[in-house]
Each structure stands twice: as structure tokens, then as C-alpha cells.
A and B are shown apart, each in its own frame.
Chain A
Amino acid sequence: MDRRGAPVDVVGVGRTFALGDGEVVALRGFDMHVPAGGFTALIGPSGCGKSTALRLVAGLDAPDEGIIDMDGSSPDEMRRGQRIGVAFQDPSLLPWRTVSTNIRLALELVGRRHDSAAVDELVELVGLQEFGKARPSQLSGGMRQRVAIARSLVTNPDLLLLDEPFGALDALTRQQLNDELQRIWTARGTTTILVTHSIPEAVYVADEVLVMSPRPGRVVARHSIGFERPRTRELLLTDRFHAEVEAVSASLHRSEGQVVQLDTDPS
């Protein structure tokens, strides 16, 4: 398989936000390594700073401490070089544009306005051939997410960042999109980081699952997921899949337990 894209190295990153008179430490001592062409899932309790971490890697926000390096470039350089594709839980489509022109937006922004072939290819890849001229308001939630994913991919980015892109969808649609995401990633081999709440989703699609602690967030456990690809839905029913989900789940609970101890610590 042709692996491409940029490796991501995050070392000792911290980020603090002002909140009213006080401050919130979202991340502290956050480390992460994603090899070129790798698929890493980031999982953790609500508010642990997963999204913050992703925004830092995307260059949409800057860390207060630590280093983020991608093949010698900083996130901001990657962003300015237009080498990143992002998709969020909210598909953030432009309501006045059609499916095709929403996908084309990314091409327009990187100066490849006339690359209609790329748009058509992505429309097909996410299975929306018949809806190219539809507006977002005429699509279902799952279809809108496909458009957002297609938009993030159309520029052939070196890094794909997904922040709970399927978080608001029903279980069935979600599973379909996970299959598609895996297929797309297999075909394109882009370095991918997926933030998610769902343990089975993370185990199903990723090479490696990183478990984060509650705030201030940092990585407390790594799980290498060795299932062969392409992974199919039969995998979901196997004992080894369940065992892996159990293992990640246990790490997640341990990480939550840590904070209970921290909170009750008299110091």
C-alpha cells in the first residue's frame, strides 16, 4: 500500500484558556506520535481537551508550551501551505452552495478552482453522485457529513484531521461512514487523526488508539490495533474485537479514576 502524508510529532504540549477571572488548563504534557500515513484515534472523557489538541495540530490555535512538528514544519506552516484537511462534528457547509460547489470551496481556497475532475471523483467516492446539485438543507445529516469529509479530502492533504465527524449521527449511518472512511483512507493513505467519543469506532478504524486523561488532558494509554485490513463488519462480532474494546474501555476508566484521586488529594 502506498503510504503518504506527513508524520506528526507532538511533544510536551500545554494549552491554558482564560475563563472569567480564572483559567482552565486544557492540556498539559500532551505527547503524540503519528507515523506518515498512519491512522490514530484520540479518545477520552468529555472536556479532556481532545478538540483542543486537534485544533493545535490544525494550526487553528497555538500551544502555550511544547512542540508540534510535522516533517519539519509547524502546524501554522502546514496550514499556510494548505496541506491540511479538517472536518468537524458540525459539517459547516455553506448553505448557499450545492454539494459540488461546497466540495469545490476547498479547491478554490488552494487556487485549483477549475479542477472539476477532483470534485467529481470525491462526490463519487462519498457516494453522492445523484446529489451533486443538492443544497445542504436538502440532505440528511449523514449526507452532509460525507460532503464535509469529501471537502476535507479534495485537496489531497498531507494530514486529515477529523473532530467527531460522525458524533451527531445514528449508529447505522455511523457504521456506514466508518466503513467509507476506512476505504477512503486505504485508497489515499493520508495521515489521519480522528477524535471520537466512541470506543468501538476508534478500535474499528484506527491503527492506534490514544486514551486521554480528564482535564488537563494528556495521553495516558496507547493501544496498537493490529487487525488486518480491510476490516469488515464481521470483525465487530469477533471476540478479539471485543477484547480490544474492553482493553481501551478499561484504560479510559482508569484514566477517569486518576482524576478522582487528584481531586480528593488534600494538596
Chain B
Amino acid sequence: MNAATEAAADAPTRPPGGSRLDRVPPRILSAAVGVAVLLLWELLARTVYAGSYRLSPPTAVVAEFFEFRGLYLRNLWHSTKTAAWGFLWGNLAAMALAVTATLVPWLRRSIGAVVLTIFCLPFIAVAPILRLITGPGNATPIALSALAVVFTTYVAALLGFDLAPGSALDVIRSYGRGRLVAFGTVRLRASVPALFAGLQIAAPAAFLGAVVGEFTGAHRGLGILTVRALGALQTDRIWVIAVLSTIVATGGYLAIGALGRYLCPWSPALDVGAVPVARVEPGLLNRLAGLLAPIAVVFVFWYAFLWVFGIEPFFAKTPIDVWAELFSEAEAAETRSLIFGALGTTLWTTSLGYVVGLAGALVTALVFILVPWLERALMPIAVALRSIPIIVTTPVIILFVGRGLLTTTAIVAVMSFFPTLVNCYTAMTRTPEGILDVLRSYDATSTANVRNAYLPTSVPALLASARIAVPTSLLGATVAEWLATGDGIGAVMVTAFTRNDFKILWVSVAVLTIVAVIGYWLVAAFELRTLERMAPGISR
């Protein structure tokens, strides 16, 4: 008699009862929902939205694709190739950084700051700056695609290295061997499942980087095709591109997930989207060092970037130049009012969407927990939608919602909704069975279950998602503003871009990045405090 059979015999079971829909096989339920969505989409497009240039019916999307399949496949292939190169370079860089951070612990915080800064960059405005170095070729989309994957892969690899069993590391040490041997024999091997979980998220992110890079000028690729179609109001074309992007990004996500499961069949599903933030050592000096060292490192990188690539001073702006533009130049007041006025608009629309997205996700996760058949019908769709980079489908949302202020809000809400939903729901399903049994043994109401079990267990995932959603929301907002709305700092940047005004472009990038980093750390600080207060000693 082994533990496995015992566990099977004592498998948790629920008291009899529940909806009859709970017994429909999940595949059939999902397929039915998918067909229903397609039918509704077709119906709406043919009736309510007919001739509105907002919604293309699925049949028209398919017809459009086949009519111009040469054009689509050529550009799709181009963008996919770009994303693949970016995926390769970005992951190599992220791995190198993660290995360094693990082997040289005192560098960890500084490396983390650089990686976070990269994650917080407003990619859409970074593209024209990168183009100064790379010229008009394909290197800028590749570089952006690489930058887009660095953060997730770095976080995942680091998590993987840290997940190595401490007892195994002690065995290595007991034989008098050092960190390097421990890394080669234990940590590298132990990191594989987490690494694949990270690469899985990185695949759609690489595609996103490539397409965003193409938005700002490229000869080929889905990005530039989108910009042209938006200009010409070719609704069908925009929808085809969105569907193709979704298929390729989801395909990459699923393929890497399958590869990970094939290579590490023993490992449970890991979610690197909900890794809690690391704790800061107590003490004022530690805190100060923790704050200043990373800032210094980022500035060093900034100067190094300008120096290594030898950018002409007319285009290159150092941190001092940016400071001068904002505070000491003759036109500083004007620049300030332009940038911060626009930033105010962006922050307002973004935070509205951010809050709506997070709150909606939490409520939906709770509904899914309480109504299992609804979860089984809709969750596969949510998981698929989480895997796609929503930014790639921004043009579709622009078409559908229009070009007002609310477009930004809608895009940000959709972007933060899906990852948060999946993370929170997953956390809720991991509520210890024993706690649920205790609640069940008193015949607790749904409200009591939510309050005492599901809501508290989802708090870490909610906060981690909220933290990650800060930079991605700002990225989504700036892309929407750049492409469509004509409001906010995204619009300021696109105007500067078309006028070759690199001063404003640099200042905007710097200010946006700082805002994103600060936002990230504010949520991180709140996250740490909340987790400590909820359950001292439990958080990492």
C-alpha cells in the first residue's frame, strides 16, 4: 500500500448536489461557448454594427484573409521571424543576468533594478530612439522584442534557481564545494520548470515587442500593416491582423507550455505571473542602499548606452540633459506643463482602467469559484486571452470603442483583467482542502467561504498581479494614445516623433519610466505590508 493509492482512496469529494451543467465535459462546454460567441459576433456585426467600421463579421474576416493571403502570410512570417530573434536574444540576456544575480548575490538588487527599468520603458517611444542607432532596418523591432521578454524570463529564472532544494545545496556544501558547483549540479536543473513557465509568457511578449517596434516604422510586418490599415480605416484588415496575431502568440504560448510539460512531467504547473515580491532587509542603511544603488546603476547604464553606440549629441540626451529640459532651460516651464499636463490625462485614464480591470477580475474569479460550470465554460477562453498580448489587438479595441478618452481606459482594463483573473482564480483553487472541509463541516454559506477562504487566499496573487499590471497598463495606455486617441503623453510623444523633437521624446520616456517604476514600488510596498500583516512569516 503506498501513499498514492491512499491519497486516491481518501480523495477529497464534495457532498452530492450541484448543477447538472457540472457534468457536461469541459471540452464540449468550451466548444459550445466558442460557437455561441462566433454566432453572436457574426450577428452583431451584420445587424447592430453593420456599416459602422467597428466590427467585422467572422465570415468577412476569413474571406479577407483568403483574398489577400499572400500579403498576410508574408507579413506574418516577417513579424514572427523578428519575434523569434528577439525571443532568442532577450532570453539569452535575461538568463545571463539571472545567473549573475544568483552567483554574485550583492549584484542582485542592481540587476533587478535594471531589469525592472527595462520592463517599465514605454516601448512605443523607445522605438524611435533605438532607430537612431539601428537605422531603418529590422533591428529595432528585434531589439524591442528582446527587451519585452527580459523581465519575465529573468524573474522566472531567478525563481527557478531559488526553488532549488536547500538540503541538496547543503549536500554540495558538505563536500566542500562552492556556489559554482551547486549552481551547475542543483540550481540549473531545478530551475527548468520555472524557466519554461517564464518562456511561455515570454513568447507572446516577444511577438508584442516585434509588432510595437513595427508600429513606428518598418518596411514589413504586421505592425506597419496595422498602422496603414488604421489610417485607411480598413476594418476587415485590422480584424484579420488581430486574429492572426492572436493565433501566433497563443500558438507560441501553448507550444512552449507543451514542451515544458514534456521535459518536466514531474513538475506541477508553476505560475510565474504571481511571484511575490522579495522582502527588503530591515534597517535604514539597507533601505537607503536598496533605493540608491539601483538608481545609480540605471544611470550608469544610461550613459553607457549613449557612449557605446556613439549617438550624436543632437539626438542623445543624458540624464543631465533631461533634467535641464525639465527644470533649468529657458523653455523648461513650457516643457513641464506640456509633459506633466499630458501625463495627468494619461494617469487618470490609466488608473481608471487599472482599477476597473483588477476589481472586475477579482469579482469574476469569485463568480467562477462559486459557479463551477460557468468557470468550465469561460475559463479556457480567459486563459487563451491572457496568453495573447492585448496590445497587439489594440487597433481592434480602438475600432470598436472609438477614439475617445475611454479607449485608453478600456484597453488598460482589458489588459489588466485577464492575467489578474487567471492568477486570482488559480490561487483560489489552491485553497487548502482542509480549510474548505472545516467550513463545509459547519455548512458554511458561500459568503462565509468567500470571506474566510477564497478571498484571503487570493490576496497574494491579486497584489502580485496588481504590481505587474502597473508597467503593462502604462505601456498599453501609451500605445493606445500613440495610435489613436490623441490625448495624453502618448500623443505628446507621437507629435515629438513626427517632428523629430528628440528632447521631448527623451524627457517623456524618462518621466514615464520613472512613473512606472514608482508605481510598481508603491504597489510592491503595499504588497509586502499586507502580506506581513495578514500572515507574518509566510510571505517570502
B18 to chain A, nearest CB (A): 12
Check if A82 is an interface residue, CB within 8 A of chain B: yes
Contact A95 B534 (CB under 8 A): yes
Q: From A81, which residue of chain B is reached at the shortest CB distance?
A: B443
A residues near B448, Cβ cutoff 8 Å: 108-109
Q: Is B48 an interface residue (CB 8 A)?
A: no
Which residues of the partner chain A approach B534 to less than 8 Å between Cβ atoms? 95-96
> Would you give the 0/1 interface string for B440-470, flagging 1 where the beta carbon is closer than 8 Å to chain A?
1111100010001100100000000000000
Q: What residues of chain B lie closer than 8 Å to A24, measured between beta carbons?
A: 5, 8-9
Among B16, B437, B442, B538, find the residue whose CB has the most chain A CB atoms closer than 10 A: B442
Kindly state the separation between the CA atoms of A19 and B537 in the bound complex, as whole angstroms: 38
* B437/A109 in contact, CB under 8 A: no
Check B437–A52 contact: CB distance below 8 A: no
List of A residues within 8 angstroms of B452 by Cβ: 94, 105, 108
A19 B8 Cβ-Cβ under 8 A: yes
A110 touches B442 (CB 8 A): yes
Q: Give residues 10-63 of A contacting B (CB, 8 Å).
A: 17, 19, 24, 26, 45-47, 49, 51-52, 55, 58-62
Residue among B432, B440, B444 making CB contact with A90, cutoff 8 Å: B432
Q: Of residues B432, B435, B438, which shows the largest number of chain A Cβ atoms within 10 Å of its Cβ?
A: B438
Q: Chain B residues with Cβ under 8 A from A88's Cβ?
A: 434, 437-438
Q: Which of A103-140 contact B (CB under 8 A)?
A: 105-106, 108-110, 135, 137-138
Residue A213, interface by CB 8 Å: no
Given contacts A17-B8, A62-B15, contact A80 B434 (CB under 8 A): no
Q: Chain B: which residue is nearest A51 at the CB level?
A: B10
Interface extent on A, as a size class?
A: 35 or more
Contacts of B5 in A (CB 8 A): 24, 47
Q: Which residues of A contact B537 (CB under 8 A)?
A: 135, 137-138
Give the Cβ gap from A161 to chain B, nearest Cβ, in Å. 8
User: Which of A47, A59, A135 is the one whose CB lies under 8 Å from B9?
Assistant: A47
Please report the C-alpha to C-alpha distance between residue A45 and residue B15 in the assembled complex, in whole angstroms: 26
Q: Is A85 in contact with chain B by the CB < 8 A criterion?
A: yes
Q: What's the count of A-B pairs with C-beta under 8 Å?
A: 104
A180 to B13, CA, bound (A): 31
Q: How far is the CB of B445 from chain A (nearest CB, A)?
A: 8
Cross-interface CB contact of B443 among A51, A82, A137, cutoff 8 Å: A82
Closest A residue, CB atoms, query B444 = A109
B535 interface contact, C-beta 8 A = yes
Do A155 and B15 have beta carbons less than 8 Å apart? no
Distance, CA A10 to CA B526, complexed state (A): 53
Q: Would A86 and B438 count as touching, CB distance under 8 A? A: yes
Q: How far is the CB of B457 from chain A (nearest CB, A)?
A: 9
Complex Cα spacing A95 to B448, Å: 16
B9 with A49: CB separation less than 8 A = yes
Chain B's closest residue to A84 (CB) is: B441
Our pick among A59, A61, A76, A151 for the contact of B438 (Cβ within 8 Å) is A151
Which B-chain residue is minimally distant from A134 (CB atoms)? B536
The answer to whether A92 and B432 touch across the interface, beta carbons within 8 angstroms, is: yes
Q: Which residues 385-434 of B sit at the A interface, judged by CB distance below 8 A?
A: 432, 434
Which A residues touch B104, using CB under 8 A? none
B contact residues around A96 at 8 Å (CB): 456, 534-535
Q: Which of A61, A76, A90, A106 has the most chain B CB atoms inside 10 A of its CB? A: A61
B439 sits at the interface (CB 8 A): yes
CA distance A19 to B4 in the complex (A): 11
Verify B15–A95 contact, CB threshold 8 A.
no
User: Which B residues contact A (CB, under 8 angstroms)?
Assistant: 1, 3, 5-6, 8-11, 13-16, 432, 434-435, 437-444, 448, 452-453, 456, 534-538
A-B contact pairs, 10 of them (CB 8 A): A17-B13, A55-B10, A59-B441, A88-B437, A96-B456, A105-B452, A108-B452, A109-B443, A137-B535, A215-B9
The residues of A with any CB-CB pair to B shorter than 8 Å are 17, 19, 24, 26, 45-47, 49, 51-52, 55, 58-62, 76, 79-82, 84-86, 88, 90-92, 94-96, 105-106, 108-110, 135, 137-138, 151, 155, 214-215
* Apart from the given pairs A60-B441, A82-B443, 7 other A-B contacts in the complex at a CB distance below 8 Å: A17-B11, A45-B1, A58-B437, A60-B13, A76-B15, A88-B437, A94-B435
Pairs of residues from A and B, 8 with the lowest C-beta to C-beta distance, nearest first: A92-B434, A47-B6, A109-B442, A95-B535, A96-B534, A137-B537, A26-B9, A51-B10
